[in-house]
Chains A and B, each alone.
Chain A
Amino acid sequence: MARPPQHWDDNRLEQIIGNLLRGGVLTAALVVLLGGILYLVRHGATVPDYHMFRGEPADLRGVAGIVTDALSLTSRGVIQLGLLLLIATPVARVVFSLIAFALEHDRIYVIVTLIVLSVLLYSLTGAGS
């Protein structure tokens, strides 16, 4: 197709968003699977207890702590990193839509998308902690 590279339309936007979502989910699932195997190998023989609610330790509650734990290959840290990637996938989709609406010069939807994005970032960066 002889289309200038700067040209954006909704159809092309839809194709790229589709690929982004699929890639994000698959990557996240793979990381979780890896962490899960590590976890079962190391802790498979312990007895699980989810009846009492204790809450997760502080390092598994925020982005920085999760990345540190995952880098030192603790199994729960690796799984939590995969879950974080999964949560980030729809956020990445919103960021991408923002860029696309800006390239389309669609001012109303740039504002709409910015509102959604700020709610997401507010929630991810420590709301409720």
Chain B
Amino acid sequence: MNTIVFTLLVWSGSFLAGLLGALTGLGGGVVIVPLLTLLFGVDIRYAIGASLISVIATSSGAAAAYVKEGYSNIRIGMFLEIATTLGAVLGAFLAGWLSTEVIAVIFGIVLLYSAYSSSRHKPHDIEDDRPDRLASLLRMNGSYPTPQGSRSYHVHSVPAGFGLMSVAGALSGLLGIGSGAVKVLAMDQMMRIPFKVSTTTSNFMIGVTAAASAGVYLNRGYIDPALSMPVLLGVLAGSLLGARVLVRAQTRILRIVFSLVILALGIEMIFNGLTGRL
């Protein structure tokens, strides 16, 4: 296989990942590393570097649209980015310290969790809606557009959310993923921010979080231009197309199929990590 064929194949795989990720809302970044390591035999450090790059692109592209629509809360995002960027730098350092087998196993576990969390979403009730003191001090309470007009919300449990966000950041830096599932868990379930605001604000934060660890990866020489090129262009094209057809697509079955793919990849990553076959 020469470089042209390899580049085209990686581009196609990344395009598909970006498309499915956008259509299902699960993000394409999470399947890039297994795709590159399991299918193309790429070293996991190069794969994580390339994935991190694609995560910045899709997050920034999607965030551009959401921010304009007024869903994302810039203050919540900025405050929690302290936690995610610090976590991301820590995670990137850990990536240089842990063996590739251990990283593969952790990656597999995160894939299993993503598949599991996508199959269930429990909407929280907004009954006890007394404003939280810290959240009010930080001016985090906001409002978002609904078909019935603008709706306001309060933010709760800021310290706990902050703690879980640093874990999300560390996972992002260690594995080169957006870790949107953990970010949404922190904001939606823990801080009780409306689901739509949580997902769009999470998307908004992913780019900055990934940039924090991308710097460390670049300095370490983990980011290979010739490999990142087709990954970035493929994921970006796929996710742009996915966002376009999203309104017309029937995504329920697609979501189940994609979750099963993630589940299978998770099992294979853990297996390969444990048997040292990477």
Q: Do A and B bind each other?
A: yes
- Total number of B residues with any Cβ neighbor in A under 8 Å: 66
A127 contact set on B, CB distance < 8 A:
89, 215-216, 219
B216: nearest chain-A partner, CB-CB = A128
- Interface contacts (Cβ under 8 Å), in number, total 217
| CB-based contact B92/A56 at 8 Å | no
Of the residues B67, B82, B220, contact of A116 by C-beta under 8 Å: B82
* Residue B159 lies at the interface, judged by CB distance under 8 Å to chain A: no
- Pick the contact of B42: A28, A32, A50, A84 (CB < 8 A): A50
Q: Is A91 an interface residue (CB 8 A)?
A: yes
Query: Does more than half of chain B's interface fall in helix, strand or loop, or is it mixed?
Result: helix
Which single member of A21, A53, A90, A125 contacts B43 (CB below 8 Å)? Answer: A53
Chain B residues, Cβ within 8 Å of A93:
60, 207-208
A45–B85 touching, CB < 8 Å: no
Indicate if the CB atoms of A90 and B220 lie closer than 8 Å: no
Interface membership of A102, Cβ < 8 A: no
Task: Give bound CA distance, A116 to B205, whole Å.
Answer: 11
A84 → chain B closest CB, angstroms:
8
8 A Cβ contacts from B1-41 to A: 1-4, 6-7, 36, 40-41
CA distance A112 to B216 in the complex (A): 22
**Bound form: Cα–Cα A15–B229 in Å:** 29
Asked if A94 is at the interface of the complex by the 8 Å CB criterion, the answer is yes
Contact across chains for B225 and A50 when beta carbons are under 8 A apart = no
Bound Cα distance A128, B218 (Å): 9
The size class of the interface chain A forms with chain B is 35 or more
Residue of B nearest to A14 (CB): B67
What are some 26 contacts across the A-B interface (CB < 8 A)?
Answer: A15-B68, A21-B63, A21-B67, A22-B64, A32-B228, A32-B229, A35-B229, A36-B229, A47-B3, A48-B6, A50-B40, A50-B42, A50-B227, A56-B221, A57-B221, A61-B218, A79-B226, A83-B53, A87-B56, A89-B56, A90-B208, A109-B139, A116-B81, A123-B92, A126-B219, A128-B219
Is residue B103 contacting chain A, with contact meaning CB distance below 8 A? Answer: no
CB contact under 8 A between A97 and B225, given known A21-B63, A29-B57, A120-B85:
no
Expressed in whole angstroms, the Cα–Cα distance for A13 and B64 within the complex equals 12
Q: Does B78 contact A (CB under 8 A)?
A: yes
Tell me if B273 is interfacial: C-beta within 8 Å of chain A: no
- Min Cβ gap B166→A in Å is 12
In the complex, what's the smallest C-beta–C-beta distance from A104 to chain B, in angstroms?
10
Q: Are A120 and B229 in contact (CB under 8 A)?
A: no
Q: Does any Cβ of B come within 8 Å of A103's Cβ?
A: no
Cα A52 to Cα B211 in complex, Å, equals 25
CB <8 Å contact, B60 and A21: yes
